[in-house]
């Protein structure tokens, strides 16, 4: 008999299977899920741990109008509330529930799932990510929540969310940005791609404002952020132990050859070699060596 954690086994099943479980009522013999039913809207409460925090007014208004005309096409997925007997807590579908209130509905269709906090959070993130309902920072906060509260690794998240490990890592890095930059991302003024170029900047707020003011592309932002003096001292001083042995050996070989500190930075496409000189004499010597 296997001692493997059921949660771990579920990680390998992929996004499609989990999304299917969210939205599809199970057979009556399945105790964890009850078939679709109607529930009074006042008995349903939002999940305070829902990774999604922002709901655009225009979108809610449009959805409310659609609900008035066509009803709710997709049920709201809920679980029994642990705080109030007879009430429900939303797992997925809070936007539909909010719009239904605006539309004046007394009841909404639900699918009731009896799941724990971990699974509820997991399904909420999956549903929102799959439908691109989360802004990048909400997505990052949801990932961090699973890491902090349920000991997920980045590899686990990549499997269960159906994204690459690099996507998970890059998304989590956005949480390191200062609040003023995060606000620009949440408001849609700055894309996640732009925001990632600012993580190592000495003054990400000023650089973000320049990107917005000048309408810079992500590529232009990357070039700007890579200029000397733009990278923060913390990143510049990051220990070279993070690099692989071959890169370290090549850095030492080049440093010994030119008599100056050489740093090699690999990127997804290409990279750069940085040579640090401490005087004009060293710069002249370097130019002579390059010219041969």
Catalytic residues: 94
Q: Report DSSP state, residue 104.
A: T
What distances in angstroms separate CA 23 from CA 6, 97, 172, one per listed residue? 21, 15, 28
CA–CA dist 34, 49 (Å, integer): 23
Tell me which long-range contacts 281-289 makes (C-beta under 8 A, separation of at least 24): 285/259, 286/258, 286/260, 289/258
Q: Is 88 exposed, middle or buried (0-12, 13-18, 19+ CB in 10 A)?
A: buried
> If DSSP codes are grouped into helix, strand and coil, which group holds residue 155?
helix
Q: What is the greatest pairwise CA distance in the chain?
A: 83
| CA gap 36, 255 in Å, rounded | 68
Other beta carbons within 10 Å of 18: 20
Q: What is the C-alpha end-to-end distance of the chain, expressed in Å?
A: 70
Question: Pseudo-torsion of CA 213, 216, 221, 223, nearest 10°?
Answer: -120
* H/E element, 2: none
Evaluated on CA atoms 268, 152, 50, 41, the torsion sign reads: positive
Task: List the alpha helices (DSSP H) in 174-241.
Answer: 179-186, 192-196, 204-214, 218-225, 233-236
């Amino acid at each position: 008999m296997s001692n493997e954690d059921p949660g771990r086994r579920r990680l390998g099943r992929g996004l499609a299977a989990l999304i299917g479980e969210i939205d599809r009522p199970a057979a009556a013999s399945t105790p964890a899920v009850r078939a679709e039913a109607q529930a009074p809207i006042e008995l349903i409460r939002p999940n305070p741990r829902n990774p999604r925090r922002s709901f655009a007014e225009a979108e809610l208004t449009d959805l409310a109008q659609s609900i008035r005309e066509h009803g709710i096409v997709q049920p709201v997925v809920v679980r029994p509330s642990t705080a109030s007997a007879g009430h429900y807590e939303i797992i997925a579908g809070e936007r539909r529930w909010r719009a239904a209130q605006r539309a004046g509905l007394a009841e909404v269709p639900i699918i009731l799932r009896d799941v724990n906090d971990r699974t509820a959070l997991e399904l909420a993130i999956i549903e929102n990510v799959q439908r691109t309902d989360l802004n990048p920072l909400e997505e990052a906060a949801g990932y961090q929540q699973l890491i902090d509260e349920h000991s997920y690794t980045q590899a686990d998240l990549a499997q269960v969310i159906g994204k690459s490990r690099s996507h998970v890592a890059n998304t989590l890095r956005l949480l390191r940005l200062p609040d003023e930059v995060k606000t620009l991302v949440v408001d849609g003024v700055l894309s996640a791609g732009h925001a990632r170029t600012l993580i190592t900047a000495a003054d990400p707020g000023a650089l973000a404002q320049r990107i917005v003011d000048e309408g810079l592309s992500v590529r232009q932002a990357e070039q700007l952020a890579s200029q000397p003096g733009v990278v923060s001292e913390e990143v510049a001083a990051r220990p070279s132990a993070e690099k692989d042995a071959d890169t370290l050996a090549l850095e030492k070989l080049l440093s010994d050859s030119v008599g100056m500190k050489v740093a090699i930075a690999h990127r997804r496409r290409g990279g750069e070699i940085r040579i640090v000189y401490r005087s004009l004499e060293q710069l002249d010597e370097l130019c002579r060596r390059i010219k041969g």
